[in-house]
Structure 1
Amino acid sequence: MSETHIDRQYLSAVLARLLTIDSPTGMTERAVDFVCDELRDMGISFELTRRGAIRAVIPGQAKGSDRAVAAHLDTLGAMVKQIKDNGRLEVAMIGHWSSRFAEGARVTVYSDNGKTTRGTILTIKASGHTYNTEIESQPVTWEQLELRLDARVANRDDVVALGINVGDMVAIDTNAEFTDSGFVVSRHLDDKAGVAAVLAAVRALVTGKVSLPVDCKILFTIAEEVGHGAPHILDDDIAELVAVDNGTFAPGQNTSEYGVTIAMKDMSGPFDRKLNRHLLDLCEANGIEHSRDVFKFYRSDVAAGIEAGYDARGSLICFGLDASHGHERAHIDSFVAVGELLVAYLQSPLLGSDV
């Protein structure tokens, strides 16, 4: 197995750039363009699916049975549901996340005419000087929120005149911060950190001129947050599918905050035992900090593929993430560990069909 190393600076730079690109599910074109540019720079061939997902290929020695690595470019977000008479907007969530974490978010509304308008998501009763203790008794629901536009609007007609319509996309600011201690604090680390780790692994293989045993398809999906996942980008030649996503670092979980975590099971059921053990053995053999965990309320690209009936071994590897789908925090060491495992995995032999 060739010695390769993950470029931490490259990984951090890619992640920082991705976090500046709005990509809620349904509006991923700019993120797709960015990843395509990175693949071109590395000399990796790729194609776009009809829906706009990316299927890249790193050629291997043997043909016929391939392996695939998947990460998703789409993030949580919101959509304009109604334009209110007072000039505020009712919003509906994209993906599954609590309105508790939408309160106070700075956002951008993307209109059909290409115009963007800034704003803030607030509770309907937002002023303590007006509502006093009523602000504390509001329910935590999306129906209790509204979007205040940073524009001179006082009624519905004013908003419509801006070109804003029902169905316009609302992207949530990341407020990303890279700390000196190695932590990244930001919304949407799920799964932009996974994408950055995958690109860093690909770059390590390319710069190291590593020969792979079989073709590897690098998949960047665009609708994981709404449950669609990888099925629209898979093909029947894929024998092994490893998804990269976040693992929940929280009480009652066993996720490694600074290493890579192999998910043994999520709400879709257990992942492939033989492939999981292979990944764990690779961590041991290569000195990669790791753990294993079971997730209660979780789905991923690989779960969607398995449920769709694809005859492939499936596993999920994770970077450790605190406060998933909320005010997220993770450490660069965990992203690097994910990349290191991918590099080792893609150089290893394809597993046989025996159980």
Structure 2
Amino acid sequence: MAISVEYMVNALVKLTSIPSPTGNTGRAIAWLEQTCKQLGVETRRNHKGGLLLTLPGVNDEQQRFLTAHVDTLGAMVKEIKSNGRLLLSMIGGFRWNAVEGEYVEVETSDGQRFTGTILLKHASVHVYKDAGSMERSDDNMEVRLDVDVKNADEVRALGIAVGDFVSFDPRTQVTESGYIKSRHIDDKASAAILLGVMKYLQEEKIALPYTTHILFSNNEEIGYGGNSNIPERVVEYLSVDMGAIGEGQTTDEHCVSICAKDSSGPYHYGLRKRLVELAKQEELYYQVDIYPYYGSDASAAMRSGHDLVHGLIGPGVDASHANERTHQDAMVNTARLVLAYLLDQRIGG
């Protein structure tokens, strides 16, 4: 029996359909909680709102810790303009041109939801000479609500206020050729991969050599998703996140990417070499890469002072923090490497 790609893809599609910008991830965490329950895995929430679970192993003295994050890019209402449009404050690191023209959902504090579109304030080329040249900046991008409002008071009367969360329409599609294109593949693809691996382990009743904890974290996009709740006996920390694709990169949309270094510095050399060895043994398509402008839950844990062996792998994702795309092959290769890692008898440096 193999890890089900259909299960992983369906889980990814479901997760991307649930808005979860950093700071407002409750619905996604609740879905993961219910899904883990269906798999027969007990969970608990940490104070940050992330989801923790433990898979018992033969050796309980040395333990492993894996993360994938379900928080995504998004925004908050910064200001209600006099014309009824909304100015935004970014959540996470992206560029306004990556979301220009995107459909959004504004969620009020009392749970109401209103749709709209992110537009340049001089969007009409028939009116504004600078529609192409105007800087895409915090002051120039705004949300046009799909409600008949003409001033700030009418917007406030709807219940919309400063601090309301704004999520982006993922526009998820799975193509016949096996590609998945969507916003927020970073890092909901990896969350789906971990679910797929857990499903396989549960159904096959496989005992792990080491007790393993999994955290579905919910603050990674702002830098501190998985730097806490790490049990004392944990020796190794593996972050399952996206592999970055671009000019000069070896990673593509079909491989499992093994990170050698990101903006935080090198990942543990011994663990990286072991992951490469496992990928070769399993005859996986993999690439080793450096992600120049990147940080992970694992690097956040290291910055917070934990004494751990840390690593980072994930499916190759094109156009990160924009209109992302990966392939089912990358999810399968990543899942198989995660499984091989979990079953490997070696641990530590």
**Among 206, 224, 228, the residue aligned to 2:220:** 224
The residue aligned with 2:180 is 184
Task: Note if contact 2:239-2:311 (Cα within 8 Å) is conserved in structure 1.
Answer: yes
Per the alignment, in what secondary structure is the counterpart of residue 135 of structure 1?
coil
Distance in 1 (alpha carbons) for counterparts of 2:281 and 2:26? 39
| Cα contact 2:120–2:136 (8 A) shared by 1 | no
Q: Distance in 1 between matches of 2:80 and 2:142?
A: 10
TM-score (norm 2): 0.98
Which of 32, 36, 43 is residue 33 of structure 2 equivalent to? 36
- TM-superposition CA deviations, 1:50-85 (whole Å, max 9, x none): 121111111001112210110001000010000001
Alignment identity in percent?
Answer: 38
Instruction: Return 5+ residue gaps in structure 2 as ranges.
Output: none
After superposition, the Cα gap between the structure-2 partners of 1:352 and 1:234, relative to the gap in structure 1 and judged at 3 Å, is closer
Task: Give distance in 2, aligned partners of 1:283 and 1:200.
Answer: 18
- Gap regions ≥5 residues in structure 1: none
2:71 to 68, 71, 74: 74
Q: SS of 2:177's equivalent?
A: coil
Q: Secondary structure at 1:165's aligned position in 2? A: coil
**Residue in 2 aligned with 1:166?**
162
For this pair of structures, how many residues does the alignment match?
349
Query: Does 2:86 match 1:85?
Result: no
Q: Which moved more, 1:226-235 or 1:240-249?
A: 226-235
Aligned residue among 103, 106, 109 for 1:109: 106
1:222-251 deviation digits (Å, cap 9, x = unpaired) = 000011121133232211011011111211
TM superposition score normalised by structure 1:
0.96
Q: Within the alignment, does 1:148 sit opposite 2:144 as a pair?
A: yes
Deviation at residue 350 of structure 1 after TM alignment: 3.8
Structure 1 residue 18 and structure 2 residue 42: aligned?
no
Instruction: State which of 262, 280, 293 in structure 1 corresponds to 2:289.
Output: 293
Q: Deviations over 1:198-222 (max 9, x none)?
A: 1111111111111111101011100
Moved over 3 A (4+): none
Secondary structure of the corresponding residue to residue 250 of structure 1? coil
3-state SS of 1:287 partner: coil
- Residues 1:5 and 2:2 are matched in the alignment: yes
Please say if residues 253 and 325 of structure 2, whose CA atoms lie closer than 8 Å, have aligned partners that are also in contact. Answer: no
Given that 1:5 and 1:340 are in contact with CA atoms closer than 8 Å, whether structure 2 keeps it comes out as: no
| Residues 229 and 302 in structure 1, CA contact (< 8 A), matched pair in contact too | no
User: Separation in 1 of the partners of 2:255 and 2:31?
Assistant: 27
Match of 1:215 among 211, 236, 239: 211
Provide the rounded CA distance (Å) in 2 between the counterparts of 1:352 and 1:26: 34
In structure 2, how many angstroms separate the alpha carbons of the residues matched to 1:144 and 1:287?
A: 50
Deviates further, 249-258 or 78-87: 249-258
Shift of the alpha carbon at 1:352?
4.0
RMSD, aligned CA: 1.0
